[in-house]
Each structure stands twice: as C-alpha cells, then as structure tokens.
Amino acid sequence: MELKLYNTLTRKKAPFVPIDANNVRMYACGPTVYDFAHIGNARPVIVFDVLYRLLRHIYGVGHVKYVRNITDVDDKINARAAEEYPDLELNAAVAEVTAKTTKQFHEDIAALGVLPPDVEPTCTSHIPQMVEMIKVLIAKGNAYEAEGHVLLDTASVPDYGSLSGRSLDEMIAGARVEVAPYKRNPSDSVMWKPSDDSLPGWPSPWGRGRPGWHIECSAMAKEHLGEVFDIHGGGIDLTFPHHENELAQSRCAHDTDVMANVWMHNGFLQVEGDKMSKSLGNFVTINELLADWPGEVLRYNMLRSHYRQPIDWTVKGLEESAKTLAGFYGGEDFSKAEKSFAPPVLEALSDDMNTPAVMTALHQLAHSDDRPALVSSLRALGFAGDLTDPRASGVDEAAIQQRIDQRLAARAAKDFAEADRIRDELAAQGIALKDGPEGTTWELVR
C-alpha cells in the first residue's frame, strides 16, 4: 500500500518516498517548556505520533527515527522563572521551570497514548552546534552581525518565502511591526542575541548571548537527522516565520536544495467555536482535561478530524468520542491483543493520514463483528482499551454496589417503589444505573 502525504512545500499530496527506507527520519517541533501544555499543543504531538506509528508499521520499528525537541531557552521561560522563583538565582530558577514543565509535559502526553520519540534534544545541550552553524552562515554571507546580534540575511536566500508562499516584497509591504534598526531587512530573523548578566547566556564569538528561536531546530535536526531528511512537521502557525527561517538557515549552511523533503502542518484548534486565548478564559490544558476524561477519549477526539482541518474542541465532541470508544471496547481485554492495522484502516491512514476515514473503517469492523481486527487496529493506533473515568477515583464503589444489590433485591420482591427510590438516590449523586442482560452496571453522568 502506497503512503501519500500532503506536502506544504508543493501544496500537493504525493507518494512518500524515503531517502533511505532503512532509516526514515522525521522531525517535529516540540514544546517551549514554560507552562502546562494546552490541548492545542497536544494536536501535533498526537498527529505526528500516529504518523510515527504508521511509518514504523511500513518500514519496521527499527527503521524510523523520530526527533521531537524541547525548547528550553526562551524569554517566556526567563520571565516565568523570575516570577515563580524570585529568590533563586536566574539560571537555577530557569532550570526549575524547564525541568518541572518538561516532566509535566511527558506525563500529560503519555496519558494520551503518545510514544516517546527516539530522540528528544534540548536547546541547552546543542548550543555549540548552533554557534557552529551561525559561524558557517556568516562565512557564507547569509548572516551578519549587528549590535551584538547575529541575523539571518533573508535577502541572501534566493527563494526565501517558498514554504509559506510569500515574497520578501509583500512581507515588507505588509509588515505591521516596528523593525529593529539594526536589521538590513524587516524579515531578517535573530539567530543570536546578547544576554546581560541577568539573563541566561553562553559564550560565543559575538559575546555572551543566547540563541534565537529558529536556529535551534536547524542545529538539532542536523545533529540527529543529517543535512537532509524526510519529514518535518509542526503546527500550521509555525509555517511562517519559524519553518521558513529554519529551512533557509539549514539550506544555506549545507548548500542543499531542501532541508526536509516533506513538510507537514496540522491545522489549528478552536474551543467551543472560539479561538483559544487566555483573555477569553477558554484556555484549556491537557492536564485539566485529564481530570475529567480518560486520555484515550482525548486522543480519539483529536483524531476524528483530519489533521490539516481546523478542529473545534467541544465537550459534546468529547461525549461522542467517549460513547464511541466504549462501544468499540465492549469490555474487551486489550492487553493480550496484537497491534496491527486492518487493511481498510491502513488504507485510510495511507491517504495522507485520513483519520476520519479510519474511524469509518473502525465502525465497519465493529459492524462486521471482526473483533480481533478492530481491537488490533485500535491498539496499533495507540489505544490501550482503558476508559477508566478519572473522576471515579473519589467514588466509593463498594457502597454503590451495595445499593445496586439492595435495589435488585427490592425488584425481586416486586417492591418497585423502593427500587426506584434507590435509583433516584444514586442519580442525585451523579450515578446512572444501566440494567442490561448481563446485570446492572453504573457510570458517572457528565
């Protein structure tokens, strides 16, 4: 089965041909670790996890290398560190913030069924590689030093703007921000900036400073995947300026036509129809959602939409996802099921990761009563069959079971008034009883 992927570089869907089928390489931009990851951050993590699983299925587990970085140098981190740990020396405070946030990120996404990448490089451990690349870019005339900064000379890059589809001219015309006076062109991006003693910094030929945002991914990708690799992914908002600058730097430094052959971008996420923003008060973190919903429900809900489409994240959608998954699982023990994609599932995934079509295929498997194919496909997609309600941790299950038994006894004695009274009493506690052929079960109402 041929894998087709949509490539932002060409704006077309095309068959995926790896550079080396024995070593398929992909890079995805990871989080800046200064705060809890929100559900929008979870989207690329889940989407590229599915791609990783698919590539491992096609090319073999040992033949795919997935790199997802941690950005642990950033002025937002510095600000957060100063705010949260005013008594600590800044570097120590920064280390606290990045360590704590990284740990939280790992816990949150593990609950979403996400596999760890093969390499998770941090910015702070790749400073020498960045400095080296900047030196090369200066030597080649693609970067210049100005007032302690080093900037990418975007005018020196022949087809700068080709990824995002914009020209230098229109960017200058449309610029709405005040341009720093030391920039030759408004679009020139900072690769290195000076740090005073109050900020984290590293020695460099241009003085003590810290890297700009884009150079980190150029340097880390080179370090772990080489000069040219197969797939680069991230959120659509990163297309410009982040990826545009990143690939310009890498191509100039390495004299290559491309940095990655295929560039993939996931669409944005809205919450209940609105843009997610702190000012609207609808900023929702993965961690908060995990207090109310099984992680697998969040994962399923994310994959119901095609990754390039915008997704409207709603409670109603989560309820539907929970109901659908419960129907798929049917109390089955997933632990000893194998992981493999059933043909119709693989076919849907191979068409530019058409996960909505995957869902249709799963429903058809469910209707066909082919339980093994359904369960193994779900496992291969990263679902472990665990719908434990996180809200149930404070519930006294034994007491509920006792009331259920009492109600069953009342029903057996045809004391329906008492039976209904018990059912109403539990309902008032948010517990819904479900009588079925196998007996009575209960669940927490939403």
Question: Footprint of RNA on residues 141-160 (CB under 7 A)?
Answer: none
- Residue 445 interacting with RNA (CB under 7 A): no
Query: What is the DSSP annotation of 243-303?
Result: IHHHHHHHHHHHT-S-SEEEEEEEPPEEETTEE--TTTT---BHHHHHHHS-HHHHHHHHH
State the Cα angle at 9 between 4 and 15, rounded to 5°: 15
State the Cα angle at 22 between 7 and 26, rounded to 5°: 35
- Which tokens sit at 1? 């089965």
Among 194, 364, 386, 444, binds RNA (CB under 7 A): 364
Among 309, 368, 401, 402, binds RNA (CB under 7 A): 309
Question: Strand, coil or helix: what is 11?
Answer: coil
Considering only 53-61, 246-254, 360-368, 371-379, which stretch makes contact with RNA by CB under 7 A? 360-368
Q: Output the CA torsion 130→133→135→137 (10° steps).
A: -130
Considering only 72-80, 85-93, 98-106, 292-300, which stretch makes contact with RNA by CB under 7 A? 72-80
Q: Which one, 18 or 329, has the nearer CB to RNA?
A: 329
Q: Which one, 18 or 49, has the nearer CB to RNA?
A: 49
Considering only 28-36, 104-112, 150-158, 291-299, which stretch makes contact with RNA by CB under 7 A? 28-36
Considering only 61-69, 95-103, 285-293, 418-426, which stretch makes contact with RNA by CB under 7 A? 418-426
Kindly identify the residues of this chain, within the stretch 218-277, that bind RNA according to CB under 7 A: 234-242, 266-270, 275-276
Considering only 88-96, 302-310, 335-343, 383-391, which stretch makes contact with RNA by CB under 7 A? 302-310
- Residue 336 interacting with RNA (CB under 7 A): no
- Which tokens sit at 379? 């496992």
- Residue 165 interacting with RNA (CB under 7 A): yes
Kindly identify the residues of this chain, within the stretch 96-135, that bind RNA according to CB under 7 A: none
Question: Strand, coil or helix: what is 361?
Answer: helix
Question: Judged by CB under 7 A, how many residues of this single chain contact RNA?
Answer: 81
Among 113, 200, 201, 212, binds RNA (CB under 7 A): 212
- Residue 435 interacting with RNA (CB under 7 A): yes
- Residue 360 interacting with RNA (CB under 7 A): yes
State the Cα angle at 51 between 50 and 54, rounded to 5°: 85
Q: Say how far apart CA 43 and CA 307 lie, in whole Å.
A: 8
Among 285, 324, 350, 376, binds RNA (CB under 7 A): 324
- Residue 200 interacting with RNA (CB under 7 A): no
- Residue 186 interacting with RNA (CB under 7 A): yes
Q: Of 150, 116, 122, give the one whose Cα is nearest residue 136.
A: 150
Q: Say how far apart CA 217 and CA 126 lie, in whole Å.
A: 10
- Residue 44 interacting with RNA (CB under 7 A): yes
Q: What is the helix (H) or strand (E) element at residue 348, kind and residue range?
A: helix 343-350
